[in-house]
Amino acid sequence: MDVQVVNCMTCEEFVRVFGNVVERCPLIAAALWSRRPFSSTLELENGFNEFIDSLSIEGKEGILRCHPDLAGRELLAGTLTVESRGEQGQAGLTSLSSADALRMNQLNSQYKEQFGFPFVICARMSDKDRILQQLESRVRNQQLQELQCDIEEVKSICRLRLQDIYNRAAKSTKL
Amino acid sequence: MDVQVVNCMTCEEFVRVFGNVVERCPLIAAALWSRRPFSSTLELENGFNEFIDSLSIEGKEGILRCHPDLAGRELLAGTLTVESRGEQGQAGLTSLSSADALRMNQLNSQYKEQFGFPFVICARMSDKDRILQQLESRVRNQQLQELQCDIEEVKSICRLRLQDIYNRAAKSTKL
Report DSSP letters for A114-133, one per residue.
Answer: HHSS-----GGG--HHHHHH
Measured between beta carbons, the chain B residues lying within 8 angstroms of A58 are 31-32, 34-35, 51
Residue A1: predicted pLDDT: 81
For residues A89 and B47, what is the distance between their CA atoms, to the nearest angstrom? Answer: 37
3-state secondary structure of B8: coil
Minimum distance, in Å, between the CA of residue A14 and any CA atom of chain B:
10
Which of B34, B51, B54 best tests the A interface by mutation, with the highest count of A CBs <10 A?
B34
For residues A112 and A117, what is the distance between their CA atoms, to the nearest angstrom? Answer: 5
* B27 to A56: CB separation less than 8 angstroms, yes or no: no
Q: Which of A169, A151, A126 is nearest to A23 (CA)?
A: A151
Which whole number is the average pLDDT over B54-80? 96
Measured between beta carbons, the chain B residues lying within 8 angstroms of A56 are 31, 54
For residues A148 and A61, what is the distance between their CA atoms, to the nearest angstrom? Answer: 10
* Confidence band of A175 (pLDDT split at 50, 70, 90): low
How does pLDDT run across A133-165, given as a tens digit for each residue?
Answer: 999 999 999 999 999 999 999 999 999 999 999
For residues A105 and B112, what is the distance between their CA atoms, to the nearest angstrom? Answer: 45
Which domains are seen in chain B, by residue range? Answer: 3-56 (no CATH), 62-158 (1.10.3330.10)
Which whole number is the average pLDDT over A83-109? 95
Q: B37: cis peptide before it, omega within 30°?
A: yes
* Confidence band of A111 (pLDDT split at 50, 70, 90): very high
A57-65 and A143-174 helices cross at what angle (nearest 10)?
60
Which whole number is the average pLDDT over A106-130? 96
Question: Is A36 one of the catalytic residues?
Answer: no
Give chain B's mean pLDDT: 95
pLDDT over 70 at B175, yes or no: no
